[in-house]
Structure 1
Amino acid sequence: MQLMQICFGISSSAEIAYLSYLYAIVRKKHYTKITSYTRAAKLIGKFLAYSMAQFLVSSGYGSYLLLHQITLGSMCLIVVIALFLPSINKGEDQVVSVANNNEDMEIQPLDMEKPKIENERLEKKDYVSGLKAGVKIYLANHVVLFWSIWWALSSCGAYQVYNYSQNLWALMQHNNQETFNGIVFIATTLIGALLTFSLPYIKVNWQHHGTVVFVISSVCLGVSLVLMGTIHNLFLAYALYIVVDMVYRLSNTIASNVIASELTSNSYSFIFGCDMFMALVLETGLTLIVADEHGLALDIRYQFIVYSGYFIVLAILFVILSILVRLRRANSKNLNEQQDIKS
């Protein structure tokens, strides 16, 4: 389990780095398509992997050792492909722009002829300046802030569902009952790939419907999870899991598209790196409280009821935040009108 978590962390970091690379070589108007296509490709890869694994194991043509060998071979092939990816063309000066902020911060290029100590000083200065620029994005752009909060919080809850869903299914399985866990994973990845691939062609201004996305997604996830935690029918639990995965994949991709559209290629890795870090920190805390033996160590059914309550609380939280933002905007508008009248 610990080795799996290490591999998950490495793959998540690599995914953020790869998306940052893609955003650096394409124009900003293509960010939405790049995000959707990349996530769809990832899900298609999972679909092929699940299908191959299910076929090899079920038919007896392969063992779990063969699956590990295929995975190792795929990783080696990916390394070779990565070596031949085109490099990013950059000018002599690299400028990091803060979204919705007119203040730009220039990062000076390193001069190889300068002493090594001077170059190290410039590297540290550029690194600190880059961190400050990333923090300014959260402070200056409320769109990035709110959608990042949703991205991190929803990912935390979804990761818990992915980690413990099979434990719940095992509780529902009767003696000698045939299981279809692999078929469920195949179905979710295929449906998720189709949804994320088609998202760029749905002409909706998601940025202006953020609260609707947050609340509807959270309520759907909450209701589905409480049903999963209380029912005893395995196939109905499979269907609810597919619903949970569909809602999360779709809302998460929408959030990624909105956030990416507000960023420059230089700031993407920092923002999504922070979002992923917060999601994993929250997931760790939730695991320690709910599932770990040093915490409450709840029964698997009660765990899913807790996860359901988690998403319902998220829905209420974003409704309150939306009301507060609207009230603040209304007050600001009234103050501006009063100042105009006085002047």
Structure 2
Amino acid sequence: MMSSPGRSQCTLYAEAEACNWDMSVLCSIILLCAYGFFSNLRPSEPFLTAYLMGPDKNLTETQVVNEIYPIWTYSYLVLLLPIFLATDYLRYKPVLILQAASFVVTYFMLLKVQGVLAMQLLEFFFGLATATEVAYYSYIYSLVEPEQYQRVTGYCRSITLFGSAAGSLTGQLMLSVAKAQLRHLVIITLVSATVAFVAPWFLPKPRRSLFFHKSPGAVEERQHNSTSFKMVENSKNKEPLSSQDVSQTTRSFDAGSHSGLVEVLRMLLNDFVQCYRQRPLLAWSLWWALATCGYFQIINYAQVLWENVHPSQAYEIYNGYVETLSTLLGALAALLVGYLPVCWALWGELALCVLSLLMAVCVLIMDTQKDIWLCYMSYILFRATYMLLITVATYQIAASLTMPRYALVFGVNTFVALLLQSVLTVVVVDSAGLGLDVFTQFLIYGGYFAVISVIFFLAGLCKLASMRSSMQEVLANSRTDSPSVSGASSSR
């Protein structure tokens, strides 16, 4: 049963008081949640392929798959780094407005324009909107204290998932119950994007950011974190931290306190080296990049596969229900991560191996079994498994990081995923490459996830072998020390 709006508002005010939030911060959270909900309320999203290949746009499958959809991947990749830097330099709000405007332009073009070139330009604007998501998830961190990050992140992420699920369900009900046309779903999506466009204008512009506009306290905290990191690294190597190392660290943060682009890039490079020197973080980041690359390909082209198995012009389709259920199950799987009795530090690699193999099986079932219900069920299981594992990866990475490095590591992982996806798209999908049909593509994607499973199976075996060797060494040392201990006891 859903709680009443009045009770939810009272609860939010009570939590705000408990967290010592002032009214401006509370209003910013409410506005940000409203923006996240309406910008993700897209009833047309589950039916995009059917709309493009239907009578409204009259595009062929080759044009949609091989010429239009790849533009999103390329534009997302090219725009991610400059948007990341611009978000921090402009302090979030202008980039949020840019994202909202990009959504409006995207769905206005989807409604009004015709032709392959126009759809490619539309995909560019959608890539711009996707790349600017970093502003949405980073904005709130500039307003609240670090101990409140987990709670506000939960608010923002849950409201976007709820908006996505509500949009998919609305679209399906409009088609199945109200017998609406696909064009009407695009109109509703455009209206929702227009409503979302209003919210960012009322958000306050933060005075500080992570790199270009840091407060003095943030610089001191950053210096302390880096010095602590070096002390831990040197303690592992049994080497003291020299005064020269400390002075170099201090100078690097003094340089980072300036707003110059060169200093910021140098700071990012320094953070990059420090973060990825940690083997557990590197392993989880590797899975993040590899799996996210394959995940993007599956969700981008699943509708095309369904259209071939179960054409929308001949049968009633249920893509909206599938997207709704997969989103909600994915959110539930992510929520259950905290309750799973698994030692991820010990069994993480083998868990990634088994679940990546499950994802490979789901993709291969979608490809080989020409049954729409098996396709739907496999897609739901695939997305839920990915949501579970990406949540675990996020948690494991976050456990070894200080907060200012979150955006960097997550951004780098996403960039590598997009780089791999671009290579895969050029070779497999793009008409400039092989331009394979969708069934052959999914066969390759299934093999791709199987390769990921093999990689982490070998990594898990190596880790277990290393741990066994270490235990045997400890036992050998204890046996060597035992005679001397007994001798000392007898001499007494």
Other-structure match for 1:70: 191
Where does residue 328 of structure 2 map in the other structure? 190
Whole-angstrom distance in 1 between the partners of 2:155 and 2:350 = 24
1:56-83 C-alpha deviation (Å, 9 max, x unpaired): 4552398245234323324313413543
State the match for 1:272 in structure 2.
410
Q: Distance in 1 between matches of 2:256 and 2:414?
A: 30
Q: 1:260 to 1:18 in 2, by over 3 A?
A: farther
Question: In 2, Cα distance between the equivalents of 1:85 and 1:124?
Answer: 23
1:263-296 deviation per Cα after TM superposition (whole angstroms, max 9, x unaligned):
1111111111100000001111111111222222
1:39-188 matches, within 5 Å, as: 39-56=157-174, 59=178, 60=180, 63-80=184-201, 82-83=203-204, 90-94=215-219, 95-96=221-222, 97=225, 101-102=230-231, 105-106=249-250, 107-108=253-254, 119=258, 124-139=262-277, 141-173=278-310, 176-188=314-326
Answer whether contact 2:306 2:375 (CA < 8 A) is retained: yes
Contact 2:356 2:452 in 1 (8 A): yes
Q: Secondary structure at the match of 1:297?
A: coil
Query: Following TM superposition, by how much is the alpha carbon of 1:310 offset from its aligned partner in structure 2, in angstroms?
Result: 0.5
1:243 aligns with 2:372: no
Confirm or deny: 8 A CA contact 1:152 1:276 kept in the other structure: yes
Candidates 449, 457, 460, aligned match of 1:311: 449
Alignment-mate amino acid for residue 388 of structure 2: L
SS at match of 2:401: coil
Q: Report the alpha carbon displacement of residue 302 of structure 1 after superposing the two structures with TM.
A: 1.5
2:171 aligned partner, one-letter code: A
Q: Judge conservation of contact 1:153–1:279 (CA < 8 Å) in 2.
A: yes
**TM-score by structure 2 length?**
0.59
- Equivalent position to 1:320, from 458, 461, 469: 458
Q: State, as a whole percentage, how many aligned pairs show the same letter.
A: 26
- When normalised by structure 1's length, the TM-score is 0.82
* Greater displacement, 91-100 / 68-77: 91-100
After superposing the two structures, state which structure 1 stretch, 14-23 or 42-51, moved more.
14-23
Task: Note closer, same or farther for the CA distance 1:126–1:335 as it changes in structure 2 (3 Å cut).
Answer: farther
Q: Secondary structure at the match of 1:83?
A: coil
C-alpha distance in 1 between matches for 2:123 and 2:133:
15
Residue 351 (structure 2) aligns with: 213
Whole-Å separation in 2 of the counterparts to 1:87 and 1:49: 34
Root-mean-square deviation (CA), in Å?
A: 3.4
SS at the partner of 1:102? helix
The separation in 2 between residues aligned to 1:110 and 1:252, in whole angstroms, is 31
Contact 2:398 2:406 in 1 (8 A): yes
Deviation of 1:123 (Å): 5.8
Deviation larger for 209-218 or 189-198: 189-198
Which of 269, 293, 299 is 2:431 aligned to? 293
- C-alpha spacing 1:335/1:208, structure 2 compared with 1 (3 Å): closer
Q: Relative to structure 2, which stretch is displaced further, 244-253 or 127-136?
A: 127-136
Aligned length: 332
Q: Distance in 2 between matches of 1:131 and 1:192?
A: 34
**Distance in 2 separating the partners of 1:253 and 1:204:** 14
Structure of higher CA gyration radius: 2
